[in-house]
Structures are given as structure tokens and as C-alpha cells.
Amino acid sequence: MLKTDVLVIGGGPAGIVCALTAKRYYADKKIMVMKNVENSCVPCGIPYMFHSLKNPRDNFLSTEPLEKSGIEVYIDEAISLDRKAKVVSARSGQEICYEKLVLALGSLPIIPQIPGIDKEGIFPIYKDLDYMTKCVEEVRNAKRVLVVGGGFIGVEIADELSKIDGLTVYLLEMLPHLLANSFDSEFAELVEKKLSDNGVKLLLNTKAVEFIGDKSVKGVKLDNGQVLEVDKVILAVGATPNTKLATDAGLDLGRGKGLWVDEYMRTSDPDIFAIGDCAGKRDFFTRKDAAVMLASIATAEARIAGANLYRLRVVRENKGTIAAYSTYVDGLVLGSAGLTELSAQREGFEIVVGNAVGVDKHPGTMPGATRVMVKLVFSKESGVIMGGQVAGGMSAGEIINIIGLAIQQRVSAVELDTMQVATHPYLTSAPTAYPIIMAAQDAMSKM
């Protein structure tokens, strides 16, 4: 039997950051990270293994920072948990006894139950470098590839595949638009145009109903009757929290699919924490369970859990997730935080929307200047910002972070209108035409 003070199961972003944080706060404790994948990937880098990273193995997620900090890394799979005895059993037969347990089990790709789904050549996304490298090698040698799912992962992969010479790329989405959960249609249309211009064949409002072929996939039947010949398929239809180990041990789920946790990431067992994709999330505005899984949220939760394992040292109010994220499609950057116009309306909020289009340098004739489009969603009565979307060049990646902070701080349209900003011709929009300010002014004119 192995013995440790803190056992972290899962070596993804959440597990790594939690173990490092715990070492900082509790230097005298023995900490072990247990992971079932020997060579992990940087998850957010997976799409870029297909083209941008010439050697897909460059997307390796190293455990060196753990080892350098004196944290033991143990490769094995946890298969059961005895909470009373505080012992985790591993696939190898080994048992590990802990004082505090952190579940950082991540998520598993959703495999849609479509006939023929288990044929060779159909790849769900697993965060395993050896598996993904094989997938990339096969896809790079293919003639026709279908990507199923038009969320940000499917979009990023389709964009990468469009750069591979001689490859025909189809992107299938059952909703009327790509990125429909995080962007209103006018933003989604920018991505759709970009991908179409780059040769990706978009199939919106369309579902796969059967994969055909013998042992290996040869094609796909669609619900409109069309049959496409394809030799590889990438599945990017979402992920679900990996909770079986925990629920088998009697830990509670929230109202959604993730493990129930309190403000400090404690599960229903006070000595067991859950963080990252396997832990439940709440929406910032409604506190309803939210199926948001992002590395940025996972690492924030990991820091909270790591600091609070033995004593509550960092006081926190879990304000819920605003699902802030950005994505990149061949030079076009899109960012979203909080509610879209559509999601706010669906939830029943009375809102006002402000729009602005500007340029991210001044004068707009400066080298490298890019058009930037900002949309802000405000509560009509209280004037508080509830969401924002941005599309533009590289600067959009940080513009959305300004909007994200404004949402978290419940900033009003008036405060945005009077916001103090640093501006410079090479670096930002003009002080006279700053898109966030202009979008706030547009909304105020309608309040």
C-alpha cells in the first residue's frame, strides 16, 4: 500500500495546478498526482496538432514542474474509492491511502449513438498524446475528412484541416449556425464565411444518421438523404463530466452532470475535493447548473482547492461561471463572455443591446490595423452589463477579457462610457472611437 497526505487523481490542467498550489500552501505535506495517461496533451493545443505544430508531439503536457516541486507523479488508473478507509484502488492492484483526496478526473468525449459509430477511422478527441498523434497522422494522409460538431473545438479543427493540401474538409452542425451556444448569428456568420472561403464545406442544420463502410468508415449518411464519401471522421460533439469513480463511491452530483461542490470545491465528503471538468458549474446570473468546461475555469478552481485543502485559507464567493472564452479561425478572433442576446432572451431577461464597429489601431490606416466588432448586452432597468461578444484580429483576445471583468464586477453602461483607457496608435483603438465605449453609448441611447 502506498501512503500520501494529498492524492490528486488526474493530471490535466486542474490536477497539475492544484498539486502545485497545495505544495505552496502546505510545504510539509506529501503530495501525489495519479494519472492514467502516460503522455498527456495540452488540451487547448489539440486542434493545432493537425497543422500549426509541424510535429504533433510538440503538444506534450509535461509533468516536470510537479517533479521539480517534489510532487510524486504516479501513472496508474484509479478504479475504485473506499471513502471510509480513505483508500483508492488502482488498475495495477496497487492501493493508495490518503488524508485529502482531490478528484480532477476531467471529462470524456460524448460519443453519439449513431449506427456505425465504432468503425475504424472515427476519432473522438481524447487528451492522450499517443492516441492524438496517431489520429493526426491518419488524418494528414486522408483525402476527405468529416468533422462532426460546430462548437469551438470542431471549428478550430476544421480551420486547421483546411490548411492541409489536397484534403477535402466537411464540417457538420445540426444547429442553424456554428458556435451557436456562445455567439449570436452575426458573429457566427463571420466564422462561417471565413471557413467557407478557405474551402471548408459547411453542412448546417444537418445531422449524421449513419456511418457506412465495412471495418473502416467509408462515408456518412445525412438526415437530408445526402451521402458523403469520407475516409476519416473527427467527433467534436461535446464532453461530459467524468464522475463514475466518484458516484460509485456515493458522492453527490449537483443538478447537472458534474459533481456537487461547495464554494471551496469540497464535495459531499469533507476530505474529498472535486475540480475542473468533473465538478459542477453554476451560471453567474441564474446560479443554475451550467455545462461549461474550460481550462481557465478548471485552473481557477484548482487554486481554490489547493489553498483550502486542510484549512479554509482563501475566502471565496463562487460567483458562477461567465463562460469567457476566445477562439481563432485563420486570423479571425472571436471572444464571448456572459450571456448572448439570444441566451438572455431565452432566460427571460429584459435587455438592451449596444453595438459598435471600429478599428483596433489609430488612425485606421496604421500598419496591421484590424476591424473590430463589439456587441454588449445590458439589463434594461439596472443598466448592468450581462454579456459581450467581440470579433476582430489578435487584439480581440484581450478585449473580451476586459468585457469579462466588467461582467464579473457588474459594471454599468454609464461606467463603461466613462471608463479610463490607455490608448496608443500602434496598440489600441482611438480614444475618440473606443469600441467598448461606443457599444455602451449605443445601448444607453436605447435605455
The DSSP code for 415 is: H
If one asks whether residue 43 binds ligand FAD (CB under 6 A), the answer comes out as: yes
Segment contacting ligand FAD (CB under 6 A): 32-40, 141-149, 263-271, 344-352?
A: 32-40
3-state helix, strand, coil in the chain (%, to 5): 30, 30, 45
Q: How far is the CB of 175 from ligand FAD (least distance, A)?
A: 19
Cβ closest to ligand FAD, residue 276 vs residue 358: 276
Q: How far is the CB of 301 from ligand FAD (least distance, A)?
A: 8
**Amino acid identity for residue 276 in this structure:** G
Residues with Cβ within 8 Å of residue 244, at least 6 apart in sequence: none
**Amino acid identity for residue 201 in this structure:** K
Site residues (CB under 6 A) for ligand FAD, limited to 8-27: 9-15
Cβ closest to ligand FAD, residue 275 vs residue 437: 275
Near ligand FAD by CB under 6 A: residue from 56, 154, 276, 383: 276
Site residues (CB under 6 A) for ligand FAD, limited to 140-179: 153
Segment contacting ligand FAD (CB under 6 A): 5-13, 261-269, 305-313, 377-385?
A: 5-13
Query: Among positive and negative, which fits the CA dihedral 248, 254, 258, 259?
Result: negative
If one asks whether residue 391 binds ligand FAD (CB under 6 A), the answer comes out as: no
If one asks whether residue 438 binds ligand FAD (CB under 6 A), the answer comes out as: no
Closest CA to 404 of 338, 321, 316: 338
- What are the Cα distances from residue 317, in Å, to 250, 375, 392? 26, 28, 33
Near ligand FAD by CB under 6 A: residue from 19, 20, 23, 35: 35
Torsion of CA 46, 52, 55, 57, to 10 degrees: -20
Q: How far is the CB of 152 from ligand FAD (least distance, A)?
A: 7
Q: How far apart are the C-alpha atoms of 377 and 386, rounded to whole Å? A: 5
Cβ closest to ligand FAD, residue 77 vs residue 271: 77
Site residues (CB under 6 A) for ligand FAD, limited to 110-129: 125, 127
Near ligand FAD by CB under 6 A: residue from 6, 19, 20, 47: 47
Query: Could you tell me if 407 and 390 are in contact, meaning their C-beta atoms sit under 8 angstroms apart?
Result: no
Segment contacting ligand FAD (CB under 6 A): 227-235, 254-262, 292-300, 428-436?
A: 292-300
If one asks whether residue 281 binds ligand FAD (CB under 6 A), the answer comes out as: no
Site residues (CB under 6 A) for ligand FAD, limited to 310-349: 325
Closest CA to 407 of 319, 347, 315, 332: 319
Segment contacting ligand FAD (CB under 6 A): 43-51, 207-215, 266-274, 359-367?
A: 43-51
Near ligand FAD by CB under 6 A: residue from 39, 198, 296, 441: 296
Cβ closest to ligand FAD, residue 80 vs residue 382: 80
Written as one string, the DSSP assignment of 130-181 is HHHHHHHHHHHT-SEEEEE--SHHHHHHHHHHTTSTT-EEEEE-SSSSTTTT
3-state secondary structure at position 259: strand
Q: How far apart are the C-alpha atoms of 413 and 377, rounded to whole Å? A: 10
Q: How far is the CB of 262 from ligand FAD (least distance, A)?
A: 18
Query: Could you tell me if 34 and 319 are in contact, meaning their C-beta atoms sit under 8 angstroms apart?
Result: no
If one asks whether residue 246 binds ligand FAD (CB under 6 A), the answer comes out as: no
Site residues (CB under 6 A) for ligand FAD, limited to 203-242: 242
Segment contacting ligand FAD (CB under 6 A): 33-41, 211-219, 265-273, 281-289?
A: 33-41
Other CB atoms within 10 Å distance of the CB of residue 46: 24
If one asks whether residue 266 binds ligand FAD (CB under 6 A), the answer comes out as: no
Cβ closest to ligand FAD, residue 90 vs residue 439: 90
Q: How far is the CB of 136 from ligand FAD (least distance, A)?
A: 12
Instruction: State the residue for C-alpha cell 499517443.
Output: 130
Closest CA to 191 of 212, 168, 162: 162
Helix boundaries (H) for 26-144: 64-68, 129-140
Q: How far apart are the C-alpha atoms of 34 and 41, rounded to whole Å? A: 16
Q: Cα(first)–Cα(last) distance of the chain, in Å?
A: 66
If one asks whether residue 101 binds ligand FAD (CB under 6 A), the answer comes out as: no
Count of residues of this chain found to bind ligand FAD when the rule CB under 6 A is applied? 35
Q: How far is the CB of 356 from ligand FAD (least distance, A)?
A: 26
Q: How far is the CB of 74 from ligand FAD (least distance, A)?
A: 9
Residues with Cβ within 8 Å of residue 141, at least 6 apart in sequence: none
Near ligand FAD by CB under 6 A: residue from 33, 104, 259, 339: 104
Query: Which residues in this chain contact ligand FAD in the complex, by CB under 6 A?
Result: 9-15, 34-37, 40, 43-44, 46-47, 77-78, 104-107, 125, 127, 153, 242, 245, 276-277, 293-296, 298, 325
